[in-house]
Structure 1
Amino acid sequence: MALHESFSLGYDPDLGLQAEVAALNAQFGNATAQEILIASIRHQFAGEIALVSSFGADSAVLLHMIAQIDPSTPVVFVDTMKLFPATIQYRDTLIEKLGLTDVRSINPAREELSEHDPAGMLWMSDTDACCHVRKVLPLERALKGFDAWISGRKRFQSASRAHLDVFEIDAGRVKVNPLADWSAAEVLDYAKSHQLPPHPLVAQGYPSIGCLPCTSKVAPGEDPRSGRWRGQDKTECGIHWPTHGKEIDGSGI
């Protein structure tokens, strides 16, 4: 039976996110990434879902899948203004190669930078606050009007992601993780089979790429994300916390 014929879980505003997510995980927990994306983009959240992409080390795989399903799917890219120049170039390369037509590059608000990071050096004293003003707040603004968003997180990336569900709740929205159960080898195989260009920094020892000041090279055998905020008790920028960084400034986003 075709996917669109078997997909029967209709959106019920009275259902509640917990029940909705549980039902989605039960129905699509063992589905392929493509099936999960088709169901999410064309059915469950049609017109109300965006892909959030860092255009980082593994991003091309999910972007390629989205482009095959619907290249007009909104793609949100948060440009913190602290990224590697290579990441900006890679974004432009993938947009052209994949034919993506709605990539939205979002910057931090000038007034928030003026208030919280006027010298542009907040990352040196408070990385959580820096991520909050440069990533969390811009993303929350960009996601207004969307009921769901797609993430490229995978269980193998770190211990904190080892039990990642395909569907989860995040700040009142549904977050979709279609590549949750993919291995590093599967990501590489997909990219090679579809001739997707790699991020130029991967070959230089950066398997996980964030902002330039807070990203370092990773040695063989290390956790792929160990180069992010090295030496600190920090593994996420804040956009993947269920609280969306509320504890930083009490903004309640």
Structure 2
Amino acid sequence: MSTIAPHSLAADATILHPVQTLDDTLRDASPARVIETALKTVGRERLALVSSFGTESAALLKVMADVDPAIPVIFLDTGWLFEETLAYRDTLIAALGLRDVRSIKPPEEALSRQDPDRELWFSDPDACCRIRKVEPLARALKPFAAWINGRKRFQGGARAEIAVVEDDGDKLKFNPFANVSREEIEAIYKLAKLPPHPLVTSGYLSVGCMPCSSRTAPDENARAGRWRGRSKTECGIHTMKTS
């Protein structure tokens, strides 16, 4: 843990200008320091990390575990995930000693009413993401004052200009890996001997729900396999406001 004083600029940011002050302070900070500052700013009981346990997730989870493995981790089990992702979640929980991983599922009542034939992913993928990811996450985040996610600028698209700290309705949103490169993530995997997601060797560079994930060619953006053939590039959890 860092030695940030309780009444430092980072701590006082929640009183003065929370987003801009924190972002200015952490603009060039290491991922570990961003997480340490988030922890000191709101406390463990009010901080959550949201992880897909996808192809790059282990790096962020490793950094978090080194800071505090008891920070709550929210995992959205949409009902459409690859079995390999569910197994990878369990592998990383054991490997990293994560103490509070909460697997959140969409309500069965909502699924039976809005997606009884499990075809919504095809006919209306935005609605499918809403009932399986966006709304369950919004409910899961209600007790928290801030949350951490693993978006990176190098992923491109809407992520190319993300700040390290963002205003997310009534919460703070921390992006500890905003500035990191793919090479730095690979270095974390190598140094910590982190297991890769089982589907990486099959050509999946970004893994979400089964119907909306496909293999990625070497010359494509890592997220090109998500919602292939559609204009959709985000599930919606990073465009919602959590208030």
Q: Same fold (TM over 0.5)?
A: yes
2:72 to 71, 74, 92: 74
Q: What is the Cα deviation at residue 14 of structure 1?
A: 5.9
Describe the superposition over 1:137-167 as per-residue Cα deviations: whole angstroms up to 9, x where unpaired.
1101110110110000000012221111000
- 1:23 corresponds in structure 2 to 21
- 1:33 corresponds in structure 2 to 31
- 2:11 corresponds in structure 1 to 10
Residue ranges of structure 2 left out of the alignment (5+ in a row): none
**Aligned-residue CA RMSD in angstroms?**
1.6
Q: What is the Cα deviation at residue 171 of structure 1?
A: 3.2
- Aligned partners of 2:97 and 2:138: how far apart in 1? 26
- Aligned partners of 1:52 and 1:75 also within 8 Å: yes
- Aligned partners of 1:13 and 1:215: how far apart in 2? 38
- Aligned partners of 1:104 and 1:136: how far apart in 2? 16
Describe the superposition over 1:4-44 as per-residue Cα deviations: whole angstroms up to 9, x where unpaired.
138333357664xxx31000011111111111111111x11
Normalised TM-score (structure 1): 0.91
1:44 to 16, 29, 41: 41
- Aligned partners of 2:57 and 2:208: how far apart in 1? 12
- 2:90 corresponds in structure 1 to 92
Normalised TM-score (structure 2): 0.94
Describe the superposition over 1:171-203 as per-residue Cα deviations: whole angstroms up to 9, x where unpaired.
321110000011111101111111000001112
Q: What is the Cα deviation at residue 243 of structure 1?
A: 4.6
Query: Number of paired residues?
Result: 240
Label 1:193 to 1:14 Cα distance change in 2 as closer, same or farther (>3 A).
closer
- Aligned partners of 2:14 and 2:41 also within 8 Å: no
Alignment of 1:84-233 (within 5 A): 84-233=82-231
Describe the superposition over 1:113-147 as per-residue Cα deviations: whole angstroms up to 9, x where unpaired.
11111111111100000000000011011101101
- Aligned partners of 2:170 and 2:203: how far apart in 1? 36
- Aligned partners of 1:78 and 1:157: how far apart in 2? 21
- 1:250 corresponds in structure 2 to none
Residue ranges of structure 1 left out of the alignment (5+ in a row): 245-252
- Aligned partners of 1:7 and 1:39 also within 8 Å: no
**Worse-superposed segment, 156-165 or 83-92:** 156-165
SS in 2 for 1:149: strand
SS in 2 for 1:160: helix
- Aligned partners of 1:3 and 1:35 also within 8 Å: no
**Worse-superposed segment, 66-75 or 84-93:** 66-75
